Structure formats: structure tokens, C-alpha cells
Amino acid sequence: MPDIERHTPKRVLVAGSAAGPVMALDEPLSFWGGLDSETGRIIDHHHPQIGQCVAGTILVMRAGRGSSSASSVLAEAIRLGTSPAAIVLLELDEIIVIGALVADELYGIVVPVLVVDEPTFGRIASASSAVIDSDGGIAIEI
């Protein structure tokens, strides 16, 4: 039987509930030019995880990368149901937050966005799955 660990984020940037398999990115991702919003696949040819699908995952990455237009790509992926179920960051990324907030406002679809500390980031990145409670609490299966 797997062990469950509970963690508290440093900040809840977009509140909501989510659950899914953990997908930890080796490098930051720009949603603009890096994610196909129609499929949820990473399309950045320079990203080590090109071709992998983020849809329905608890996406764990240090931060986003790049363009302010990334928020619109994230919002569109959320609308299409091809986005991560939640995003866990080590560093605050306002562009990602804007994309999630816009999707909530326009489409009524919430994708939680959290910032965690370094030890928590490492634990979540190595987990097989995670559940995020509406208050931001994170339970991981290890």
C-alpha cells in the first residue's frame, strides 16, 4: 500500500481542487510555442519532454518560461480540457496565474496554481500522484 504525505504550499495563487498523476518537468516550459493547446502535448523542440502530454496531470515545474502570451495559451488549453489539472511551482509566475484566472473568469473552469518551498517541490516532483484540496493542501502518493 502506498504511503501518503501531506504538504502545505507557501502560497495558493489560484485556489481549487484537483487530482491526477504527477508530471515533473525537467526544464521550465513556455506555454506560448511550447504547448499545443488542442492536444495538451509539449511541442517545444528544445524541451527535454517534447511530445509528452500535460492534460489532466499535476504539473510540477520550477517556473514558466517566456512570453506574456503564454497566459492565453494556458487559458485556451483549460477551456479545451487539455491543460494540467493543477500547476505546482517553485517560483511565482504571474503569467501562469493570469492564464488560470482568465479561464476561471471566462469559462468557470478552475486549475489550481500553487507555489511550494524547495523540499516540498522535490517531494511532489518524485511522487506518482497528488491530490490538491480546495484550501491548497497537497497529498502525495509516494
Residue 12: phi, psi to the nearest 5?
Answer: -100, 110
Annotation says 69 is catalytic: no
**82 close to 37: Cβ distance less than 8 angstroms:** yes
Q: Which helix (H) or strand (E) holds 20?
A: strand 18-24
Catalytic residue among 30, 67, 69, 129: 67
CA distances (Å), origin 138, targets 9, 13, 35, 121, 133: 7, 14, 25, 11, 6
CA angle 26, 35, 126 (to 5 degrees): 30
Find cell 510540477 and name the residue.
Answer: 60
Residues labelled as active-site residues:
67
